[in-house]
Amino acid sequence: MERIKDTLQSVMQDLINKRGGENNEEPGAWLRKSLTKKELGHIKFQYFRKGILGITVDSSVWLYSLNLKKEDLLRKLKKCSGQVKEVRFSIGEIG
């Protein structure tokens, strides 16, 4: 009989592979490739569901700045993963 731990690992790995599609990287890695080091210091990855990438920003100044660059960011993220359809920013704690 197969151990439940092995079964769960197998199921989770299958889900990760299906979700990742052509690219098995996590959304945080997509952001690291798409944003500058300075911008990364002011954001935190929150969620990725149904093609929507949620990002928390630490201030209204950075929210405004990133919203100005939203189309360019979305284009870069789509190069990393074709699954990304939209980026949503919100203000909150990042630390």
Residue 10 belongs to some domain of the structure:
no
Q: What is the CATH number of the domain that holds 29?
A: 3.30.300.180
Digit-by-digit pLDDT tens for the chain (95 residues) are 668 877 877 777 776 655 544 456 788 899 999 999 999 999 999 999 999 999 999 999 999 999 999 999 999 999 988 899 999 999 999 87
Determine the pLDDT at residue 22: 47
Q: Judge contact between 85 and 35, C-beta under 8 A.
A: no
Structural tokens at position 44: 């935190």
Provide φ and ψ at 84, rounded to 5°. -75, 125
The amino acid that residue 3 corresponds to is R
Distance CA 33, CA 30 (A): 5
How many domains are there within the chain?
1
